[in-house]
Structure 1
Amino acid sequence: MTPHADPRLLDRCAALVEDAVEGAATDPVTGGRGRRRVLGISGAPGAGKTTLVLAVLAAAAQDPRLAGRIAHVPMDGYHLPNAELDRLGRRDRKGAPDTFDVQAYAATLATARALPRTALWAPSFDHAVGEPEPESIEVPLDADLVLTEGNYLLLPDGGWPTVRDQLDEVWFCDLGAEQRRSRLVDRHVLTGREVDDAEAWVDRSDEANARLVVGGRDVADVVVVDGQIERPAKAARRS
Structure 2
Amino acid sequence: MPAMDPEQLAGLTARARRLATADGPPARRLLGLAGPPGAGKSTLAAHLVHRLDGLAVLVPMDGFHLARAELLRLGRADRKGAPDTFDAAGYAALLRRLRAPEPGTVVYAPAFDRALEEPVAGSVPVPPDVPLVVTEGNYLLHDDGPWAPVRALLDEIWYLDLDDRVRVPRLVERHVRFGKDRAHAQAWVERSDEANARLVARGRERADLVVPG
In structure 2, the residue matched to 1:236 is none
Q: Which residues of 2 match residues 80-159 of structure 1 at below 5 A?
A: 80-114=66-100, 116-117=102-103, 118-159=105-146
Structure 2 distance, partners of 1:152, 1:185, is: 20
3-state SS of 1:55 partner: helix
Structure 2 distance, partners of 1:197, 1:168, is: 38
- Counterpart amino acid of residue 43 in structure 1: G
Q: Which runs of 4+ in 1 moved over 3 A?
A: 115-118
Which structure has the larger Rg? 1
After TM superposition, the structure 1 stretch with the greater mean CA deviation from structure 2, 87-96 or 154-163, is 154-163
After TM superposition, the structure 1 stretch with the greater mean CA deviation from structure 2, 10-19 or 101-110, is 10-19
CA contact (8 A) 2:111 2:124 kept: yes
- Counterpart amino acid of residue 191 in structure 1: F
Aligned length, in residue pairs:
209
In the TM superposition, what is the alpha-carbon distance from 1:3 to its structure 2 partner? 5.2
Instruction: Give the gaps of 5 or more residues in structure 1.
Output: 25-33, 61-66, 227-239
Q: Which residues of 2 match residues 25-104 of structure 1 at below 5 A?
A: 35-60=27-52, 67-104=53-90
Structure 1 distance, partners of 2:57, 2:9, is: 20
Structure 2 distance, partners of 1:156, 1:23, is: 29
In structure 2, the residue matched to 1:18 is 21
The yes-or-no answer on 1:216 pairing with 2:203 is yes
Instruction: Give the gaps of 5 or more residues in structure 2.
Output: none
TM-score (norm 1): 0.83
The yes-or-no answer on 1:168 pairing with 2:155 is yes
Cα RMSD after superposing both structures:
1.7
TM-score (norm 2): 0.92
CA contact (8 A) 1:98 1:158 kept: no
Structure 2 distance, partners of 1:115, 1:53, is: 21
- Per-residue CA deviation, residues 116-139 of structure 1 (Å, 9 max, x unaligned), is 454200001111111110111101
- Counterpart amino acid of residue 57 in structure 2: A
CA contact (8 A) 2:101 2:128 kept: no
Structure 2 distance, partners of 1:193, 1:41, is: 26
In structure 1, the residue matched to 2:11 is 8
Distance 1:99 1:223, change over 3 A: same
After TM superposition, the structure 1 stretch with the greater mean CA deviation from structure 2, 8-17 or 169-178, is 8-17
Structure 1 distance, partners of 2:21, 2:45, is: 19
Structure 2 distance, partners of 1:146, 1:203, is: 32
